[in-house]
Structures are given as structure tokens and as C-alpha cells.
A = this chain, B = another copy of it.
Amino acid sequence: MKKILIFGAGRSSIYLIEYLLDHAQEGGWKVVIADINLESAIQRLNGHPSGMAISLDTLNESARKSAINEADLVISLMPPNLHQTIAEDCLEFGKNLLTASYISPNLSVLKEKVMEKGLIFLGEMGLDPGIDHMSAMEKIHDIQSKGGKVVSFKSYTGGLVAPESDDNPWNYKISWNPKNVVLAGQGIAQFLEHGAIRYLPYNRIFKEVSTIQFPELGDREVYANRNSLSYIDLYGLNEAKTVIRGTIRHPGFIEAWDAICSLGFTDDTTPVLIKNGTTYSELTCSFLGIRNKNPRLGFAEFLGINTEHIILDKIEWLGLFSDEKILGFSHDGKLGYTQTTIAEVLQNLMVEKWKLNPSDKDLILMQHEFIYELNGKIKKLYSSLILKGEDHQYTAMAKTVGLPLAIFAKLLMSGLKYEPGIHIPLDKWIYEPVLRELEKNGIQFIETEEELAF
């Protein structure tokens, strides 16, 4: 019997594994769930007869190679740095490989060899990147095939909390990698706006906020995300005057997050010495440069805002003004210092405060805005996805990251004719069948279109 080998049984694997187990009998395959923690793999298998759980350390070369050699298809949910090793083994043993991660420059180098062996390595097959590519490309191809010209493309994604589970002043909970939440926006965002290139560095990224609307949910705020310029070529948008990708947050989140960044609390490059026994309040005061003062008052002065401002309520709720000792930190009796990064201190706090409770539902939002010319008219098309999770395990995040991989795995195992090589899901032969199957699983975009009058 054929085998699908999955590396990683972490929280983004739940829908992926269930889908593949559910279709295993009709498809005639077995699902091998490999994780360094056997318990996690067993839990994901959940006693299903069409699979098996194995303990596997990806860094153990012989165990890894042997598992890959026995598989017919490999799916990697490992951290990006481990994909390369897995990919090289897949090449050696002639196995197809699917991941939700970006294709690294190192991986791209294997392109020719992957083609020669007639294999497919498909990356960026999750939510963002993944569903964003597929849903945007379907519309772009559709517009272009009618003779239309895309003059503006904006695309936003956010992993948030559903309104019914939203019980904190940030209107936010963490459904994905908390480290990425802390480091979001670092570097320089790059995009095209009204024909001009814009570079927006970290110190200003959260100060340029726009508002978008979702049917029924109402307003959300967005900021520009990483490198949108590379999407001009990638998506074939050479006639567009505006190409912007961004991140969605609840109104008010971004300005408060900007305050935390301004204070310096998201730096992960510098080991800082923090005195044992230090409280959050003291730490905040050390960054504000104030002594014997109320940190809320000091922060208000630092930001030049009223002491009753809602930004300060948010920061206070997060715990930065509290007299608690710093979480996840050495507080031994010696009058010493612990070395850490301030980003790690913040992350430890956020993971506690922004935790999804067992019955909490997360929320995935995605919206593309296309402006295009067709037959002398200018039209504006919105394509939006609103997806709520079930609970803290069956999250919309896990569903949207896992199902594209699972569906494409099923297609491959069912004999889909593919173009050999290293791909991301931009082509119709990939996105078309996957989007239709996602729709059947409740991941469906809503479209509204209007003609612009001049």
C-alpha cells in the first residue's frame, strides 16, 4: 500500500492529517505521522486504522532517509531550516515533496535536478503563502483572459480572533507562531502605490494604517507587509500602478503595537542584561528612562498622549505596567543579571495573555481588491474570505494552512498529471482543483464588484 509521510504533528497538522486519514481507504494509501515527540504523533493519529505514528528526529540521518525511502509522497511541516535536508533526501530517493513554507534560494538550486527526475516539489501551499496565491491568481487569470488589465492589486491577510471569543482590549489572540507576532513588520516594507515605489521602514510601518471593510464584520485595519514588489513579476501585474500586500488587524491594534515597538520591546538582535527580580513595571521604566514614576504616566508622556488613552489600557492589560516579576526568567537570590532579548520577554508575556482558551474560535480574514480595465470600463472587485475556527485546536489557521497541502496530496496520489519542477501554486492546473475542493470544505471567497464612475 502506498504511503504519505508527514513530518511534524504540531498544531498546524490537525486538519491535514484528518483529511488524509479520512480519504485513505478510498485512495488506497497509508498515512505515516512522524514527529520527534511520539505522543504528538499518536494523538494526531487518534487510533485511525489507516495510519501509523512514528517517533522520528529529522536530524537523525539514517532514520530520516529510511522513512523517506519507504514513502510515496512527503509532506513537511517542519521549520523552514529543516526543509532543505528533507528536500535533498526526496531528490535522492525520487519522492515528491509538499510544504507550506517559502521556497528558499538554497532549495531553488535543486530545480533542474527535480525536473530531470520528473518530480514535483511544491512550496508555499498553506494560507499565506498559499491560499492567497491561488485565490488571487484565479481572478487575475480570469480578468486577463477576458482581455482586462489589472491596474491595482491590494491583498491583505490576518489571523485574528472571532468576535464571539474576543474578550480583550487588543481584540487579538495568537493562533500561529508567537515569535512571528513579535517580529512582524521588521525590516523594510516595499510596495508600488499609484505608480511610485515606496519603501517603508520598521519605525514607520505601523504609522501608515488603512481601513478595509468585510461584509458583516465591518472595518478592519491593515499595514503593508514585507516585499510586495516581487509580486509584480510573480503574478504578472506589469501594468498595475499599485501592488500592495498587507496584514489585517482589528481597529486600534496597530497604533498600540506601534507604541510597544517605539519603546523598543520587539528587538531580538541584542542580548540585554536584566537584573534578577525585575518587574515588568521596572523594565518598562528602564526603557522609558524614568524613575520613581508611574509607568502609565511615563508612557503617556513618552507617546505624547492623555493618560486615559486606550493605547495605555491595552499596554496595561498586556502587563507592562505590572509589579509581577518577569515571566520565564531566572529570579534566583543572587544579585545577578540574566541575559535575554527583550523580544523574548515580550513573547513570553504575550503567549500567556493572548492564549486561545479551549472553546475560543480564531478567525482568518483575507481580502483581495482588484481594480481593472475591461472594455473601456473600470471595475473594482473585492474577493474576501472569512473563516472561523471551531475551538483552540480545530483553528481556522490550522485548516487553511493544512487543507491546501492535504488536497494537493490527494490529487497527486490520485494520479494528477503535473509539470515536474519546483513550484508555488500560481498555475491553473494547481489552483483550480484545490480551490474547488477547499470550497467544499467551507473555505470560500465572497465576491462583490462595482463599476467605478468618473
What is the interface of chain A, defined by CB distance below 8 A to chain B?
A: 186-188, 190, 194-204, 208, 227, 229-230, 262-264, 267, 269-273, 275, 283, 285-287, 289, 291, 337, 342
A-B pairs with beta carbons under 8 Å apart, 15 shown: A187-B270, A188-B264, A188-B270, A195-B291, A196-B286, A196-B291, A197-B275, A199-B264, A200-B264, A201-B264, A202-B267, A203-B262, A227-B270, A227-B271, A229-B337
A342 and B286 in contact (CB under 8 A), knowing A203-B264, A273-B229, A275-B197? no
Nearest CB on B from A361, distance (A): 35
Residues A272 and B337 in contact, CB atoms below 8 Å apart: no
Q: Indicate whether A201 sits within 8 Å of B269 (C-beta atoms), given known contacts A188-B342, A337-B229.
A: no
* A199 engages B230 (CB within 8 Å): no
Contact call A187/B289, Cβ cutoff below 8 A: no
Q: Are the CB atoms of B229 and A199 closer together than 8 Å?
A: no
A227 to B229, CA, bound (A): 37
Complex: chain B residue closest to A196, CB-CB: B291
Say yes or no: A230 contacts B272, CB within 8 Å. no
User: Known contacts A229-B337, A264-B204, A337-B229: does B199 contact A342 (CB below 8 Å)?
Assistant: yes
- Tallying the copies of this chain within the complex gives 2
Contacts A195-B291, A196-B286, A199-B264 given; 11 further ones with Cβ under 8 A?
A187-B270, A188-B267, A188-B272, A188-B342, A190-B272, A197-B275, A200-B287, A201-B263, A202-B264, A203-B262, A227-B271
CA distance A273 to B231 in the complex (A): 11
* Residues of chain B within 8 A of A227, CB atoms compared: 270-273
CB distance from A359 to the nearest CB of B (A): 38
Chain B residue nearest to A335 (CB atoms) is B238
Alpha-carbon gap, A264 to B289, bound state (A): 24
Complex CA distance for A204 and B187, rounded to whole angstroms:
17
Closest to A282 in B: B197
Q: List chain B residues, Cβ under 8 A from A263.
A: 201
B289 adjacent to A200 (CB under 8 Å): yes
Contacts of A287 on B, CB cut-off 8 Å? 199-201
CB distance from A241 to the nearest CB of B (A): 12
B residues less than 8 Å from A186 (CB atoms): 269
CA gap between A208 and B264 in the complex, in Å: 15
**Chain B hits for A264, CB < 8 A:** 188, 199-204
Q: In the bound complex, do residue A198 and residue B267 qualify as a contact, i.e. CB atoms below 8 Å apart?
A: no
Residues of chain B within 8 A (CB-CB) of A291 are 194-196
Report chain B residues within 8 Å CB of A272.
Answer: 188, 190, 199, 227
In the complex, A410→B188 CA distance in Å?
49
Of all chain B residues, which has the CB nearest A229? B273
Q: How many whole Å from A180's CB to the nearest CB in chain B? A: 15
What B residues does A187 contact at CB under 8 A?
267, 269-270
Known A-B contacts A227-B273, A273-B227; the reply to A201 vs B267 at CB < 8 A is yes
Q: Which residue of B lies closest to A226 (CB)?
A: B270
Given the complex, which residues of B lie within 8 Å of A286, measured CB to CB? 196-199
Interchain CA distance A81-B143 in the complex, whole Å: 53
Find A273's partner among B230, B267, B283 (CB 8 Å cutoff). B230
For A342, the chain B residues whose CB sits under 8 A away are 188, 199
With a CB–CB cut-off of 8 A, which chain B residues contact A202?
264, 267
Q: How far is the CB of A72 from chain B (nearest CB, A)?
A: 37
The interface centre, meaning the residue of A227, A230, A270, A271 with most chain B CB atoms within 10 A of its CB, is A270
CB neighbours (8 Å) of A270 from chain B are 187-188, 227
In the bound complex, CA of A166 to CA of B190 (Å): 38
Docked pose: A187 CA to B186 CA in angstroms: 13
Residue of A227, A271, A272 ringed by the most chain B CB atoms within 10 A: A272
Residues of B within 8 A of A196 (CB): 285-286, 291
Docked Cα-Cα span, A303 to B200, in Å, equals 15
Closest CB of chain B to A347's CB: distance in Å?
A: 16
Instruction: Determine if A289 and B188 form an interchain contact, defined as CB atoms under 8 angstroms apart.
Output: no
* A289: B residues at CB distance < 8 A: 198, 200, 208
Q: In the assembled complex, which residues on chain B have CB atoms less than 8 Å from the CB atom of A194?
A: 291
